[in-house]
Chains A and B, each alone.
Chain A
Amino acid sequence: MKLDSKIPAGPLADKWNNHKAKLRLVNPANRRKYHIIVVGSGLAGSAAAASFAEMGYEVSCFCYQDSPRRAHSIAAQGGINAAKNYQNDGDSVRRLFQDTIKGGDYRAREANVYRLAQVSANIIDQCVAQGVPFAREYGGLLANRSFGGAQVSRTFYARGQTGQQLLLGAYSALSRQIGLGAVKMYTRHEMLDLVLVDGKAKGIVTRDLVTGAVESWASDVVVVCTGGYGNVFYLSTNAQGCNVTATFRAHRRGAGFANPCYTQIHPTCIPVHGEDQSKLTLMSESLRNDGRVWVPKNAADCAKPAADIPEEARDYFLERKYPSYGNLAPRDIASRAAKEVCDEGRGVGQLVDGKRLGVYLDFSAAIKRLGEGEIRARYGNLFDMYENITGENAYKQPMRIFPAVHYTMGGLWVDYNLQSNIPGLFVGGEANFSDHGANRLGASALMQGLADGYFVLPYTVTDYLAGEKPGSRPSKDAPEFKAALKDVNDRVAKLLSINGTKSPRHYHKALGKITWEKCGMARDKAGLEGAIRDLQALRDDFWKNVKVVGSGDALAPELERAGRVADFLDFGIMMCLDALTREESCGGHFRTEHQDAGEAKRDDAQYAHAAVWQWTGDGQLPARHTEPLVYEETQLSTRSYK
């Protein structure tokens, strides 16, 4: 596998501008002769599709939801970072770059992160012009807040619904192009395969979820912006439909998958309440500004109501372990600390599967200090949401929280142009791997999705198309399309015909149990090796005993789930293998063998690289390749929050 990152030469700050000046262009009259397929309609997908259409290309956009507006970018709460320095607090492109690369525990590609920080300011301009109702000061100018422990206020936000508003902005731009006929939108269509002709991505195969029709589509280039794979853990804060299928199908066709073991666990989610739970709900991290995290010192106290546990019997473990950051310790560190105390048997809340997995987030001190009214003003909507879900009043008793999978930093490998190792296959947003390294900072995901969609892909895809002859795209009758179509049809027929005894959800839950326990917040060699064996057995069982009800010619949610779970099973094996072979701890990847008294211990000498996995065939383990991460202007240091 050839992995050329194509990082432009020159000083870090000039790379993108120099590179843009050298990228090839396509004559406006020729643009309509090129057909671009965009898969996914979240921030990256909508922004890219709208921008391509504005430039004059013929665009088709696909999403599995009933409307492009529903992509899971919509659920992001906190905000979007941008190096505007409106607060005059010393922010700059370089500082945002430094924070992001440090936050990623020095496992991201330097040049990509710098470019991200550079274009961040343009994103805010674009979104404001679209009518995104960002928070304002009374003077009418934009407001900012500090987020995720940053030392500057660079986060722009729209109440607790920033992702929703940014997505609606991109969706409105996309909708304009659909209305003009420049984008053909295919909703309730799921990409089930990538079609390669002469080694280049030239189309996709989709299934119409309403009619069941499997169709192929030819194009000059394919842009995949289909999000992350958090649902490999079954329970996550992701939407139910989020899946790895599009990227994994591309992977099976030869695209390298980079760093699948980098997953982010968010510390403040509502704990699991029972076996039938389908989803974990994120509570804004801002709660940790005023809440104190604790568990009982004695496991014997765990079943008691919180009020019956006296102050001296409480262990405020974040404040104890990290005196300077306390309850505001970064996401990965706070999450791991919560897991440790629960593993010690000191968790609180309902017994689920014989364990209590939760820690208290206590506002009583803050209520005493500031009054209930002030706490209500700051977090009222979150307290309401908590009560709605748990039935508990968090003004009267402490909240219970537990970490949950939230975001995945790994993804399809891409070069500086966001092109995968398959020519003509571009990957944007959470679906690619390049910008967040081993851990993502708060308010950076929205920034990256829109940066890719609005300000990177339009340039780099154009450069690629300039090298493709207009009108040279193959016909859908080409043998490669027919073969891919047959593969997909065969797979659908196979899933429907197994007629076993267990539901797709059964396998998804079993998969999640393995990945969460063995490849979740803490990982070790024996556990990962066992997980790989268990997942292989589960995969074999799936293909023998799954029962998929419904028919192939109508809306069939079980069939959709079965296909996604099948890919997650293969993907889970690769994720565990990646975790197993990365013999270090960094960011969200914590190997218990590699630590300094509980702190992640990186091994820069051996692992300052991206691990890129190559598909080698059904039932085979993938092959590992590496892209060394070259740091030209960054000093690697150890993150410490003690």
Chain B
Amino acid sequence: MVQENGKATTLALKLRVWRQRRGQPGAFEEHALAAVPTSASFLEMMDMLNEQLIKQGKDTFAFDHDCREGICGMCSMTINGMPHGPLPGVTTCQLHMRNFRDGETITVEPWRARAFPVLKDLAVDRSAFDKVIQSGGFITVRTGSAPEANNIPVPKPVADEAMDAAECIGCGACVASCKNGSAMLFVGAKINHLNILPQGQAERDRRTLAMVKTMDEAGFGNCTNYGECQAHCPKSITLDVIAKLNRDYLRARVKEFFSSTGKPSKGGD
């Protein structure tokens, strides 16, 4: 440990990191890592570990990451049991080592959820999220068929609320933190973004029913209102989006139930 002005500037760490090949059982590996600068990000610390492994001739730990500025949603590590680590409101890439103590043991695992199978080590397959979007997370508008933008006034509070939901980066921490492996925060955020905008009304019920159906089929769990998702969401998306998803779903189901099919019923006169 190196000190400057009484503050530690480097840390020595013990790391327990998950090692797994696709389709095989995994296990933790322990590694010691010295001289980690407190100014480094968590992923830079992982880079250091990997460089050390290369020097030792060992395979590196695969992990997902890309923009390293907290917006792409690719990084996905469960650190000491917490998706994205101990600092609320940030992604793993924005977590810095000054939040850890010298000599600390840090446990690093992948997102744990049935719907997110492990591809290798810390990288998981989150394509279930894409499937949910593909089933209805859009407003149907062909390129070139859009009306003049200001023809559709959107009250500022509505636009702001849509933006609150649209900030979701699709990282999957909500699923990983949920004790039920539920994706309601993600799906709620997506549905809210589109369902409250005037542009999204035409497909509102159809969208809600389709996305919830796809979510259920993907093997996510059910929401029992733990609230862990909100507490671990790097964008601090609130449980409101789940309440509203529930409301829209109920509404859509009731409307579907009472909707006219336009055809005579079977066996009718």
Query: A residues within 8 Å of B by Cβ?
Result: 47, 50-51, 54, 65-70, 72, 74-75, 84, 86, 122, 124-131, 133-142, 158-159, 161, 164-165, 168, 171-173, 175-176, 178-179, 185, 187, 210, 237, 239-241, 273-274, 276-279, 281-282, 350, 385, 388-391, 454-455, 458, 503, 505-506, 547, 549-551, 554-558
Q: How far is the CB of A308 from chain B (nearest CB, A)?
A: 14
Contact A555 B66 (CB under 8 A): no
* Contact status B39-A142, CB under 8 Å: no
* A176 / chain B contacts, CB cutoff of 8 Å: 134, 138, 140
Contact B138 A125 (CB under 8 A): no
Task: Tell me if A140 and B155 are in contact (CB < 8 A).
Answer: yes
Q: Are A129 and B199 in contact (CB under 8 A)?
A: yes
Nearest 9 pairs of A and B residues by beta carbon:
A140-B153, A179-B134, A129-B146, A172-B138, A555-B120, A133-B163, A279-B68, A128-B149, A51-B143
Q: Are A159 and B67 interface neighbours, CB within 8 A?
A: no
Q: Would A159 and B71 be within 8 Å (CB), given that A175-B138, A558-B60 are in contact? A: no
Given A124, A239, A556, which contacts B62 in the complex, CB threshold below 8 Å?
A556
B133 adjacent to chain A (CB < 8 Å): yes
| A550-B59 in contact (CB<8A) | yes
How many chain B residues touch A (CB < 8 A): the figure is 84
Interface string of B18-51 (1 = CB under 8 A from A): 0001100000000000000111110110011011
Closest to A70 in B: B72
Distance from A449 Cβ to chain B, minimum over Cβ atoms (Å): 14
Stretch at the interface among B90-98, B218-226, B242-250, B255-263: B90-98
Partner of B54 from the list A122, A158, A549 (CB cut-off 8 Å) is: A549
Stretch touching chain A among B77-85, B100-108, B121-129, B177-185: B121-129
The reply to whether A175 and B148 contact each other, CB–CB distance below 8 Å, is no
B228 within 8 A of A: no
Check B139–A549 contact: CB distance below 8 A: no
Q: Is B15 close to A, CB under 8 A?
A: no
A140-B155, A274-B40, A278-B44 are contacts. A503–B129 as well, Cβ < 8 Å? no
Among the interface residues A134, A503, A506, which one has the most CB atoms of the partner chain B within 10 A?
Answer: A503
For B152, list chain A residues within 8 Å (CB).
128-129
Q: Does A75 contact B134, Cβ atoms closer than 8 Å?
A: no
**Contact of B69 with A by CB under 8 A:** yes
Chain B contact residues, majority secondary structure: loop
A-B contacts, 27 of them at CB < 8 A, read A65-B66, A66-B64, A66-B74, A69-B130, A72-B66, A84-B149, A122-B144, A124-B149, A125-B149, A128-B152, A129-B152, A130-B146, A131-B162, A133-B163, A133-B166, A158-B163, A172-B133, A172-B137, A240-B67, A276-B48, A279-B68, A385-B70, A389-B94, A390-B39, A391-B38, A555-B119, A557-B50
B1 interface residue (CB < 8 Å to A): no
Q: A136-B159, A389-B96 are in contact. List 5 more A-B contacts (CB 8 A).
A: A125-B149, A129-B152, A137-B156, A175-B133, A179-B134
Residues in A with CB closer than 8 Å to B43 are 278
Chain A CB within 8 A of B193 CB: yes
Contacting residue for A141 out of B48, B66, B123, B150, CB 8 A: B150
* Nearest CB in chain A to that of B58: its residue: A549
A388 to B190, CA, bound (A): 28
Chain B residues contacting A185 (CB-CB under 8 Å) are: 130
- Complex: chain B residue closest to A211, CB-CB: B22
- Partner of A454 from B22, B60, B143 at Cβ < 8 Å: B143
Residue from the list B38, B71, B130, B137 in contact with A74, Cβ < 8 A: B71
B266 at the interface (CB under 8 A from A): no
The reply to whether B65 and A240 form a contact with Cβ atoms under 8 Å apart is: yes
Which single residue of chain A is at the shortest CB-CB distance from B126?
A66
Contacts of A126 in B (CB 8 A): 141, 143-144, 146
**A388 touching B126 in the complex, CB below 8 Å, given contacts A54-B143, A131-B162:** no
CB-defined interface of B140-174 with A at 8 Å, one 1/0 digit per residue?
11111111111011111001101100110110000
Distance between Cα atoms of A551 and B60 in the complex (Å): 11
B57 on interface, CB distance cutoff 8 Å: yes
B197 at the interface (CB under 8 A from A): yes
B238 proximal to A (CB < 8 A): no
Which residues in A have their C-beta under 8 angstroms from that of B127? 66-67, 187
Q: Which residues of chain A are near B147, meaning CB under 8 Å? A: 125, 129
Q: A136-B154, A136-B159, A165-B166 are in contact. Are A130 and B139 (CB under 8 A)?
A: yes
Q: Tell me the smallest distance from the CB of B128 to a CB of chain A, in Å.
A: 10
Known: A125-B148, A239-B68, A549-B54. A66 touches B125 (CB 8 A): yes
Which residues on A sit within 8 Å (CB–CB) of B60? 549-550, 557-558
Is B53 part of the binding interface, using a Cβ–Cβ cutoff of 8 Å? yes
Q: Check if B188 is an interface residue, CB within 8 A of chain A.
A: no
**Contacting residues, chain B, for A168 (C-beta < 8 A):** 166
**Cβ distance A174 to chain B, nearest Cβ, rounded Å:** 9
Indicate which residue in B68, B93, B130 contacts A67 across the interface (CB closer than 8 Å).
B130
- Tell me how far the C-beta of A349 lies from the nearest C-beta in chain B, rounded to whole angstroms: 11
